[in-house]
Amino acid sequence: MKLRTSRKSGFTLVEIMIVVAIIGLLAAIAIPNFVRARNTSQANACINNMRQVDGAIQQWALENNKKDSDTVDAAIEGAVGAYIKNGFPLCPAGGSAYTLGGTVGTPTITCANAALTPPHVLPVSGQIGG
């Protein structure tokens, strides 16, 4: 006669703990990379927004017979926003508005998040007027 022992198959506690530890290790490696990628894409979107604002300033100045020495300030923000498809943009990293300054020939467009890493700074060579 055979003795039948009922053995249920399943995972032991040690096996489950090893799988959880491996998943935790992979998450610890992946999450900082996701955060870095998100920050980089927000900085790139911010820089592209500033390029759009720069182009809108140049178009506004051309249509309003402005000289290169005329100043650019917050007073023209509404007028310049009409030259951008969805109005004057905000920084995607914090929703802050851009600060306008300088002259039409060399406008300065700054973001409140310029100190973040990576920086939200429009390169001088990327400006249309500069």
In a domain? residue 105: yes
Give residue 122's pLDDT band: very low, low, confident or very high (50, 70, 90). confident
- Residue 50 included in any domain: yes
Is 36 within the bounds of a domain? yes
Decide if 6 is inside a domain.
no
Residue 6 pLDDT exceeds 70: no
Give residue-wise pLDDT tens across range 22-39: 999 999 999 999 999 999
Number of domains in the chain: 1
Assigned domain for 4 exists? no
> Is the residue at 113 inside a domain?
yes
Whether residue 86 lies inside any domain: the answer is yes
How far is 92 from 107, CA to CA, in rounded Å? Answer: 21
pLDDT confidence of residue 1: 64
Residue at 9 is within a domain: no
Helix, strand, coil percent content, the chain, rounded in steps of 5: 50, 10, 45
Q: Indicate if the alpha-carbon torsion angle 10, 14, 17, 22 is positive or negative.
A: negative
For residue 49, what are the domain limits? 16-126
Buried b (16+ CB within 10 A) or exposed e, 47-66: bebbbbbbbbbbebbeeeeb
Average pLDDT over residues 93-113: 90
Residue 126 has pLDDT above 60, yes or no: no
**107 closest CA partner among 74, 65, 64, 63:** 74
